[in-house]
C-alpha cells in the first residue's frame, strides 16, 4: 500500500485550536483517533433519519435530487445510511476517501456550501467552529450534528447556544460503540438547526429506529 501522507496525515483546519476534548467521556485517559475520526455507528444515523426525514426533505426543497452534504464524511458511515434511505449525498473531508466517494476539503475553509442540508458527526475539538461556519458564514438552511450529550453543559458555549439556537435536540437512549470495543462510555445527542424555526428548542429522547418502515417511524418522547 502506498503511503499517501509520508509527512503525516493532514490535520483539520491548520492553525486552529485543537486542545479541547482530548479525552473520551467517562474519565478514561484514551488517546484520540487521528483527526478525531470515529465512524458513526449505523443505528445513530438510522434513528436520526426516522425522526427527521420529513424535515430533511422539506429543507431540500422542490428538487428531489438535491443532495445532503456530509462535510466530515471520511469512512462513509453516515453517507451510507442516508443513501440507503433514498437521499443523494455529497461527501467531503480534510482527508479524501475515494473508496466512499469523499473528496478532500477542509470544511472550515469552505467558501460555499455544497448543499443547504448538512448531516455530520464533527470532531469534538472543532464542533463549535464548524457550527459557526455552517450556520453563520455559509448559512445553510438545515443541519444535524452529533455532539456529546454534555456539549451544552458549559458556560463557554452559552453564547453559542443563544446565537445559533438549535430547533431540536435528540438524546439517544443508548451509548453508541464508536470503535466496536464494547462497554462504550459516551452519551450523545443529535442537534438540529432549522433556518426560520421560531419556536423554542425542543428536547426529545430518541430510541433506535423500529417499526415496519425503518425510515418512516421512530419512537420519540
- At residue 58 the predicted structure's pLDDT band, cuts being 50, 70 and 90, is very high
Domain-embedded: residue 95: yes
For residue 211, what pLDDT is reported? Answer: 52
Q: Mind listing the pLDDT tens digit for each residue in 117-141?
A: 999 999 999 999 999 999 999 999 9
Q: Going by C-beta distance under 8 Å and a sequence separation of 6 or more, which residues neighbour residue 194?
A: 55, 59, 141, 142, 167, 168
For range 32-36, the mean pLDDT: 51
Domain-embedded: residue 13: no
Question: Residue ranges of the alpha helices (H) in 11-106?
Answer: 42-60, 77-84
Domain-embedded: residue 216: no
Higher local confidence (pLDDT), 32 or 69: 69
Number of domains in the chain: 1
For residue 180, what pLDDT is reported? Answer: 82
For residue 160, what pLDDT is reported? Answer: 98
Q: Is the pLDDT of residue 9 over 50?
A: no
Domain-embedded: residue 34: no
Domain-embedded: residue 120: yes
Domain-embedded: residue 12: no
Residues 11, 17: Cα–Cα separation, whole Å: 11
What is the reported pTM?
A: 0.81
CATH number of the domain enclosing 50: 3.40.50.150
Q: Is the pLDDT of residue 23 over 50?
A: no
Range of the domain at 137: 42-206
For residue 181, what pLDDT is reported? Answer: 81
Amino acid at each position: 500500500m502506498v503511503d499517501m501522507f509520508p509527512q503525516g496525515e493532514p490535520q483539520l483546519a491548520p492553525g486552529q485550536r485543537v486542545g479541547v476534548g482530548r479525552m473520551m467521556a467517562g474519565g478514561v485517559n484514551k488517546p484520540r483517533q487521528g483527526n478525531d475520526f470515529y465512524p458513526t455507528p449505523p443505528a445513530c444515523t438510522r434513528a436520526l433519519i426516522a425522526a427527521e426525514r420529513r424535515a430533511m426533505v422539506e429543507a431540500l426543497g422542490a428538487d428531489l435530487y438535491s443532495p445532503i452534504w456530509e462535510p466530515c464524511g471520511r469512512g462513509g458511515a453516515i453517507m451510507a445510511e442516508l443513501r440507503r434511505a433514498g437521499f443523494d449525498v455529497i461527501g467531503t473531508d480534510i482527508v479524501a476517501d475515494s473508496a466512499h466517494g469523499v473528496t478532500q476539503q477542509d470544511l472550515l475553509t469552505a467558501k460555499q456550501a455544497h448543499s443547504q442540508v448538512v448531516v455530520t458527526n464533527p470532531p469534538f475539538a472543532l464542533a463549535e467552529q464548524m457550527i459557526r461556519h455552517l450556520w453563520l458564514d455559509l448559512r445553510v438552511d438545515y443541519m444535524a450534528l452529533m455532539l456529546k450529550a454534555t456539549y451544552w453543559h458549559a458556560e463557554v458555549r452559552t453564547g453559542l447556544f443563544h446565537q445559533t439556537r438549535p430547533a431540536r435536540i435528540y438524546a439517544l437512549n443508548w451509548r453508541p460503540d464508536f470503535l466496536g470495543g464494547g462497554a462504550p462510555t459516551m452519551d450523545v445527542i443529535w442537534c438540529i438547526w432549522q433556518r426560520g424555526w421560531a419556536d423554542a428548542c425542543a428536547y426529545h429522547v430518541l430510541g433506535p429506529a423500529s417499526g415496519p418502515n425503518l425510515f418512516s417511524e421512530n419512537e420519540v418522547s
